[in-house]
Structures are given as structure tokens and as C-alpha cells.
Amino acid sequence: MFDLLAILPFYSAFSFFRFARIMRIMRFARAFRFVRLIGFIGKAQHYLHDFLKTNGFIYLIWTSLSILILSATLYSLAEGISWGNSLWWALTTATTVGYGDISPHTVVGKIAAILLMIVGIGFIGSLTSALTTFFTQKDNASSLDKIYTKLEQMENENIELKRKMDYLEKRLKK
């Protein structure tokens, strides 16, 4: 058996493992994908930051979350159900889905529901408004940048033409 192994041409048998070198290159390519991902996350973080600043949307989110948690707690205490179920009720009510699986029966629970319905409708409307404002301002900003660049270019051309005209006038007067 050992004699048979000794006479086998191992260089051709192991040439298949040269394919592993390609896998090393693939690992190197993954590093580039990771770098692109980091760039994407940075851009996404920048856009998210700008979006949250649009129309004071971040304050609306904090206010809505506070009212959502307050209503869930109030509903839980008034109706005598678990806080998890009351949070589920608050989310479905605020998003205007309202499955109807949990509904208020006490006066305090109904007041919490009314408050939450108004806040939910207002939040959905404000979200739509913030999205519209964010994307229209982004488009307007890019088109304004193009206009400013073109105006600046035209101004530089006008200055250059004025210099040339002044030079030609001086030459004609001589």
C-alpha cells in the first residue's frame, strides 16, 4: 500500500486544492462588501437624522410613545388586564387597526381609548406630512444646488467677458 502511495503523482492530485486560492480572493472581496455596508449605514444614519428633524418629528415620536405607554398603563389598571395585553390594545388602537379582540368596558378605559384614537390619527397624519416634507425638501435642495452652481458659472463667465471687453476697448482707444 505504501509503495502505491509513493508512486502516485501528488502534484496533479493536489492541483485541485489550488481552487482554494480563489476562495482567499473571495474572502478579500467580502471585506469590500463590509466597507460598502459601513458607508451605507453612515448614509442611512444621516438621512434618518435629517428625517427626525423634519417638522420636529422626533418630538412627536416621544410624545406619542409617552401617551401610548400612559394609555396602556391606565387601561391595564382600569380594566384589570395584563400590561402586555393593554400595550397590544394601545398599539392596535393608535394605529387605527382596532382588531376588536380587546375593548374597553369602563369609563376610564373608554377615555384612554378616545385619547389614544386622537393621538393615533394625529401621529399617522404627521408621519405622512413629515415623509412628504422630507422628500420634497431633498429634491428642492438638490435642484437649488444645481441652480446655484449654474448661476455661479454664468457669473464667472460674465466677469471674464467684461475683462475681455475692457481690454479690447483699451486697445481700440490707443
- What is the C-alpha separation between 82 and 131, in angstroms, rounded? 35
pLDDT digits over 93-139, tens only? 888 888 888 888 889 888 888 888 888 888 888 888 888 888 887 66
Where is pLDDT greater, at 11 or 164? 164
3-state helix, strand, coil in the chain (%, to 5): 90, 0, 10
92-98 long-range contacts (CB < 8 A, ≥24 apart) are: 93/117, 93/120, 94/64, 94/68, 94/119, 94/120, 94/123, 95/120, 95/124, 96/120, 96/121, 96/124
Other beta carbons within 10 angstroms of residue 113's beta carbon come to 20
pLDDT digits over 50-73, tens only? 878 877 888 888 888 888 898 899
> For the chain, what is the mean pLDDT?
81
Q: Which residues contact 77 (CB under 8 A, 6 or more apart)?
A: 108
For the domain covering 2-135+147-173, report its CATH number.
1.10.287.70
- What is the C-alpha separation between 88 and 102, in angstroms, rounded? 9
* Segments making up each domain of the chain, as ranges: 2-135+147-173
Per-residue pLDDT for 14 more than 70? Answer: no
Closest by CA position to 46, among listed 140, 142, 138, 132: 138
Query: Does residue 60 contact residue 126 with C-beta atoms inside 8 Å?
Result: yes
pTM for the full model? 0.52
Q: Which residues contact 95 (CB under 8 A, 6 or more apart)?
A: 120, 124
Confidence of residue 1 (pLDDT cuts 50, 70, 90): low
